[in-house]
Amino acid sequence: LQANQKVLQKANTYTDNTAKDVLKSANDNTERRAAVAEDNAIKRSGHYTDERSVQTLNSANTYTNHRAIQAENNAVARSNNYTDNRFGELRKSMKHTEKRLNAGIAGVTALSSIPYSSGNNFSYGIGVGNYQNGNAVAAGVQFRASPSTNVRLNISWDSAGNNATGIGIAGGW
């Protein structure tokens, strides 16, 4: 480990010394060339550099602004599209649920609308129900098992393709 550290330290020292020598040589060369160059060339070079810098900055700003606006518009459009799609799916699901619920309510209405003849041992009935956009038809039978006991079976079919079945027994004294 110490040998590695010594080698690393020597390499760093060599690199630092070489960099100093190269920097000094470059600085000396630059100073000589600058002293030889005419003052007019420096002015023209500065003017050209300033002009090109302004052009480059303007071009970069225009490009950046355009890309930022484009990215923002794309993000907003994607967000709006996603939101619209999700709300569309939700709306479709709610309409489907509403139709099923309305049909179910119509089915219950049809069941409760079945009239029965209470004086007979056996009777039957048919009922129809409607609730908003839901429709249903129902049928049922009633059997008097004893003078104080009735048994009833009902079934309904609604416009959403559902059916409901009910069985009941009633007694009295």
pTM over 0.85: no
Q: Which of 20-24, 37-41, 169-173 has the lowest mean pLDDT?
A: 37-41
Q: How confident is the model at residue 8 (pLDDT cuts 50, 70, 90)?
A: confident
Return the pLDDT at 38: 66
Residue 129 in contact with residue 106, Cβ under 8 Å? yes
Give the Cα separation of 102 and 159 in Å (integer): 9
Amino acid type, 142: Q
**Over residues 69-76, mean pLDDT:** 94
* Residue 47 pLDDT class (50, 70, 90 cuts): confident
Instruction: Determine the pLDDT at residue 126.
Output: 96
What tens digit of pLDDT does each residue of 117-158 get?
A: 878 899 999 999 999 999 999 999 999 999 889 999 999 999
- Percent above pLDDT 70 for the chain: 96
* Token pair listed for 83: 């939101």
Amino acid at 28: D
Helix then strand count (H, E) for the chain reads 2, 4
pLDDT for res 46: 80
CATH number of the domain at 99-171, out of 3.30.70.270, 3.10.310.30, 3.30.1300.30, 2.60.40.10? Answer: 3.30.1300.30
Domain boundaries, the chain: 2-70, 99-171
Is the pLDDT at 40 greater than 70? The verdict is no
Arithmetic mean of pLDDT over the chain: 90
Q: Residue 96: which pLDDT band, with cuts at 50, 70 and 90?
A: very high
